[in-house]
Structure 1
Amino acid sequence: MTVVGNGGEITFRRATGVDTAEVLSVLDEAAEWLTARGVSQWPPRFDPGWVTGAITRGETWLVDLAGEAVGTVTLDWADPLWDDLAGKAGYVHRLAVRRRAAGVGVVALSWARDTAWQHGADALRLDCVRENERLRSYYEAYGFAHRGDRPVGGAPGQRQDDGPVTWVSRYELTPAPGRP
């Protein structure tokens, strides 16, 4: 998919194994920026094992601006964190944008929303660390509704059955009434 934005042409391309280092570079840059601001959304560095499965399954995308990878987003179709809610949904994970491309995040959210609707989803869902008020406000301004907080195991950004507990806030976007 190609979108024309303020900075030029924005293209979404499915990441493959050869793109793993680029995906990690975008995530690590975003994580470093968050950590420098005292936000514990993600670890300072991502373990490659956290992304390789989604890349192999074809769920991770790179966002290119004028031919340069400036963002990444993972869109999949299941998340056990949401097992208590029914309906077909798309789930956004690891959405990150390089600082020099600030503003591309909203384009990535719109792409994820449109892709979910094209796949017949009833909702687009995501989560973030509960204490990240700025990100929570960003999602709410986009139209996401808060759907409760849940504990997850492992380091921030990781999902495990054990390890430290992180509370995350869940957000859901549903189609506008009358959407075909």
Structure 2
Amino acid sequence: MIEIKGVQPTVREMRPLTRGWGGLHWWACLPILAPFLGLWSLALFAVADPRATSALGTIAAAIVILTSVVWIVTRWLHARLTVRAARSAPGGGMLSDWVLDEQGVEFRTGVSSARVSWAGIKAVREERDRFLFLLSPASNPVLPKRLLTEAQLAAIRQLVENVTASGHLGPGVD
């Protein structure tokens, strides 16, 4: 059994997941990216048109630069607002305690607890600064590595390897 107390991911650790659920991430981004792609296409056509004036080329370049800046700023703002909203929920600002064992993962706060068996977890992804537990496309609990000792890191890796090899990890195992 591996116990980790006081888990609360940072904004950076809560960044969106880009791998693990196939193309779903990109399809979910399409409504946000479509207007930018449209503006970029318009700008590229304006620049590529041999009849375009230099002013039109400047306007097209400005469109590309401004849409890029808007996209970067809104991604940054969205991440911060999402974390702030989550922390304003009754249990959102509370630290959680995690327990990982051969049966699954348990999450506890002062107001709630949940236990998920390994069969309910599609995969566990290890990234540079976090472990992601893929429960559903809308729920991927984050365990920051900064909270783990070297012994805990090794134990989690071994546990995930064991449940993967034994076939206990959920049906979508990669």
Interval containing the TM-score (normalised by the shorter chain):
under 0.3
Structure 1 length-normalised TM: 0.22
Hey, which of these two has a bigger chunk of helix by percent?
2
Structure 2 length-normalised TM: 0.23
Hey, which of these two has a bigger chunk of strand by percent?
1
Larger Rg: 2
